[in-house]
Structure 1
Amino acid sequence: MWQYLCFLLAFIHTCFALYGGDDSVIQLTGENVDEFISQPGVTVVKFYASWCSHCERFAPKFKKASDILQGVVRFGVVDNEAHSNIGNRFNVEGYPTVLVFRSDEGAGNPIKYTGPRTSDELIVFLMGQVRDFVVARARKEGVQLNLSPKQPTMGSGGGTCGGAQSHADKQDNHYQNSEAVVTLTDQNFDSLVLQSDDDWLVAFIAPWCGHCKNLAPEWKRAAEKLKGKVKVGTVDATVHNNLAGRYEIRGFPTIKYFKSGQVEEYNGMRSAEGIVEFGLQKAELNRPPPEVNEITSSEVLHEACDNKQLCIIGFLPQLLDCQSKCRRDYLDVMKEAAKKHKGKNWGWLWSAARTHMPLEEALLVGGFGYPTMVAINMRKQKFAVMHGSFATDGVRDFLYDLSQGRGSVSLNSMSALPEIQSSAPWDGKDAPVIHEEEIDLSELGMKSEL
């Protein structure tokens, strides 16, 4: 592996601008992050939180990787507690999160590192990104490079099989005895994968490849765990040459993720756990956000709250105080929050003020006016009332503090949710304006003028 790394380091020395400074890891803020991730070459950024024990354990390994790759890959870190606006831009929801930025891909398209949190695996993964960057840059200059690694660039420690073998060397396909793994061919690939709305993980394999045989049991276990969420398939690249050529398959196994015609190479662990984690992350990222439903019955309330980690309820002003456009603006704030947290097992509801008074009384709603928001944890029988602004920033801060267990959010105890009366759903229209009838004061024997 180190021979390969040394070769790449020597090759790219003329392609990358060295960055100065005594420290190999740069602390990033809102003032310097854009310039940092937009520089030519490969940049890696770690998002962390001070309370995160995983971040603390990963820190020396991240630093070791930065020392080894200094002058080759730029390393930066973001304290996401102090600079949450940066993490929000890149949908950072857990810690530590490691994103890789390549100037040929653009700063808006980072690659998430999902491999082991070790310096060795991170280095191998980053060198794979360096290799791909160099190949892409050379291609723009009209130079075709073949830098296929002898060691893996997936951060998997599993190796790759390169080159071609004769058909006589082929052995039985170890992937075909699993119902969860779909056999893909030149004939069915476009209709099943590219023209589908499903998420797909596809392994391009060669039956004679020892590393492919090692992957097979992990691939099948991952397919079983991902069933119903992500589809899993294999392509025998030695038979279906058109597909292998289309996706520039040069080594085996090569794993790619497909969604709505978009393709991304998988660079994580070749283990069932790593593959499943990657697949679920992609499925959550691509699935539609949950609906924000109006509370019209006890059934709607219980469906959103009973089996969820949290249910979020917005209590909005009555239409006479806030007509349809005003109400839709508040609902848009809730929908934006639901989209942001779509990967979480949360339910989302709303109700017009004073429509379900037993529920409002149980949740201590109304004393601070409307709109307001309540988060309920039915398993722990706790709830919290938002006292900040019912705007994008206010709702974001409330939910973030709540999910992080911040002391700024007060928790209240509760028992079971009260039963509520069914109500008609909002028709989407304004409330009718009530015109007061003018009274002829002369009929009452009173003067109309003072």
Structure 2
Amino acid sequence: MTLFRRSRFLFWSIRELSHKYTKSLVLGIVLGFAIMIGVYSVYPYISALTLLKIDRIGYVGEYTPSTLPIPIQEQLSFGLTTIASDGSALPGIASSWEATDSGKQYTFHLRNDVIWHTGKKVVASDLNYNIRSVSFKALNDRTIIATLQNAYSPFLTLVSKPIFQANLTGFGQYKVNSIRLKGDKIVFLRLVTATKKQLPTIEYRFYKSETQAINAYKLGEVDKIEGLTSIEPSLPSWKNTTIEKVVNKNRFIALYFNLKDQLLREKTLRQALVYAVPITTAERVFSPIAPSSWAYTNSSKQYDFDMKQASKLFETTKIATNSNELTIHTFSQYLNIAQEIANSWNALGMKTNIRVENVVPKEYRVLLSAQDIPVDPDQYIFWHSTQVNTNITGLSNLKIDKLLEDGRIKQDQEERKRIYIDFQKRLAEELPALFLYYPTSYTVKRTTR
């Protein structure tokens, strides 16, 4: 009986309390469920923060937020288009597009699932490129129209440049978590995942010189450095360190001839000189167009080292009977190859000196230098006779001019390919430059910490 009374008392007490505190109990239950759901939702991110590694990478060079290297920009955002390995345009923010008015107008249709790092959906009015002679107009939230003053077939590669709002806000798989500046130059940049993917955090540290970057690696500030032009002898013996040699086929080293020079305008002399260039690297270059490009051809005339042929041609030139001499202008990193070329030309009978420069000289006879390869095969600014500031050889060839003019306005890729194959062959025959080799760089990486 006593047990019954106690049970009844407990029952009535609970009922009274539930009536009295109904709202509080309901609120507590709701909050409890909300907390459980919240913890469940954020647990993967908390776990990611504690478990994911941090990639600490050293970069050589001085950069502002607006001039970050393209590989870093592409981690933070992307453009209306992206670029395939062969240089063709692929969808980016735009899922599709049409070119009309003979290539002077492009209509881009935007994806509906692209979100700024702020959480706001990307709409057409957010997007704008500062491209000369091109205007952009948002037709609606999902459509943007670009109007060009003149047809320009490489245009789709221009709009592959990643788009940002203020403070490097993009819509890529990474977002900026922390940035430190010294003046206007970035010295530290931390990127964290902007998606549900458990991506490693990336920390970039920037150094003015390769020596500073290597010292930072030795001190443990960074675990990886990319793009080193040389490796100090002691580094390969460092514990838990691997060194990878990388061939950069988006850049080449070339020997440029000044065709306005009275001596070098003679093609036979240029032919004699290029046959006397001792190229020992296996990564030869035969064209100013990237070998991965849809427009590349390996059927252009190739000049292999041949001192007999060089001597034969040299003996037929006017210079073989006078005392003219050449100076190879170059930069410190190419001094060794310049010396090899000078030695070979001296052996040929062409007196040759070397001069190390800090910037590209305004006047020269022979220049040994590097050139970045554009994504699109358009070579107009480098070789067209009207481009006096960028056509550094002074090449003037009516047929090459016409090919370059047509190549940048035609819309059909197969037609452009035929044009650029013809261009590459004619350029090799005209010989304003000898394309030598693709430069190598080194990546230093710590295998364990």
**Structure with the bigger percentage of strand:** 2
Same fold per superposition (TM over 0.5): no
TM-score range, shorter chain: under 0.3
TM-score (norm. length: structure 1): 0.26
